[in-house]
């Protein structure tokens, strides 16, 4: 096991499965203490046990991004146990069956429901945990976005996923990108770096495992952004091959 992240504390939301679990595994295998954020404490503990069986220092934190009480409780737990947070990966996200309709036919409740988790949930977690990130010598915030959040790519008829015009999901990830840019600008004079990661079309529960990329591949960009050096970028949008157009 690598030791280059020893002493670092990383919280990953929605980490009991999929890309979130793999991000936790990769960070943990490099020596970080990983906090498995999960809505269901049982599923979170199951994931943490699996990580611990691989000699990873994993702890479970009950955290539902749309329940401020659980976010506050998680913050208090982290402060009490570690006094800081070095890495925050906002991975938890949803996609709705009601989002498969043409944009003009999407029910407004589908839009609200998607934004509640994918946008407001991301912001709530960042806002609550920012004081702990400021106590790190080199805080890193990674927001899981998607290539579907790119306005440039959505406007390109030759884009690989040009037909994937899910109003709620795509626009929620566009909003996550905006949060990333604005927050990075606010924190530009601090040691905290904020970036958006596009994991690519990865096989997860979110897409009924239709993606052609593995979770190991999907975790490459988020892990890289979570472990940026002091001279790394902030306020950017990246996949594993580099910059993604806004």
φ, ψ for residue 78, nearest 5 deg: -65, -45
* Beta strand ranges found along the chain (DSSP E): 9-12, 33-38, 58-62, 87-90, 140-144, 193-197, 237-239, 242-243
Of the listed 21, 169, 212, 237, which one is catalytic?
169
Q: Indicate if 169 belongs to the active site.
A: yes
What is the C-alpha to C-alpha distance for residues 236 and 212, in angstroms, rounded to an integer? 25
Q: CA-to-CA distance for 66 and 59, rounded, in angstroms?
A: 21
Environment class of 97 (CB within 10 Å of its CB; exposed 0-12, middle 13-18, buried 19+): exposed
Q: Are 245 and 153 in contact (CB under 8 A)?
A: yes
By annotation, the residues acting in catalysis are 169
């Amino acid at each position: 096991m690598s030791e280059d992240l020893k002493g670092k504390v990383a919280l990953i939301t929605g980490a009991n499965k999929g890309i979130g679990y793999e991000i936790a595994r990769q960070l943990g295998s490099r020596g970080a203490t990983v906090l498995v954020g999960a809505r269901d404490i049982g599923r979170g503990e199951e994931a943490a046990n699996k990580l611990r069986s691989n000699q990873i220092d994993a702890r479970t934190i009950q955290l539902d991004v749309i329940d401020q009480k659980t976010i506050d409780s998680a913050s208090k737990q982290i402060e009490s146990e570690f006094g800081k947070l070095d890495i925050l990966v906002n991975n938890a996200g949803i996609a709705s069956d009601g989002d498969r309709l043409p944009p003009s036919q999407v029910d407004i409740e589908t839009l609200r429901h998607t934004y509640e988790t994918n946008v407001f949930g991301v912001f709530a977690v960042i806002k609550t945990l920012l004081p702990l990130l400021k106590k790190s010598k080199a805080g890193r915030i990674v927001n899981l976005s998607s290539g579907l959040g790119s306005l440039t790519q959505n406007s390109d008829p030759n884009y690989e996923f040009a037909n994937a015009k899910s109003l709620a999901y795509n626009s929620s990830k566009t909003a996550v990108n905006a949060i990333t840019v604005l927050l990075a600008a606010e924190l530009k004079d601090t040691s905290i770096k904020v970036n958006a990661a596009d994991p690519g079309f990865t096989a997860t529960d979110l897409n009924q495992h239709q993606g052609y990329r593995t979770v190991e591949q999907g975790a490459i960009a988020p892990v890289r952004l979570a472990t940026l050096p002091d001279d790394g970028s902030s306020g950017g949008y990246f996949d594993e091959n580099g910059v993604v157009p806004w």
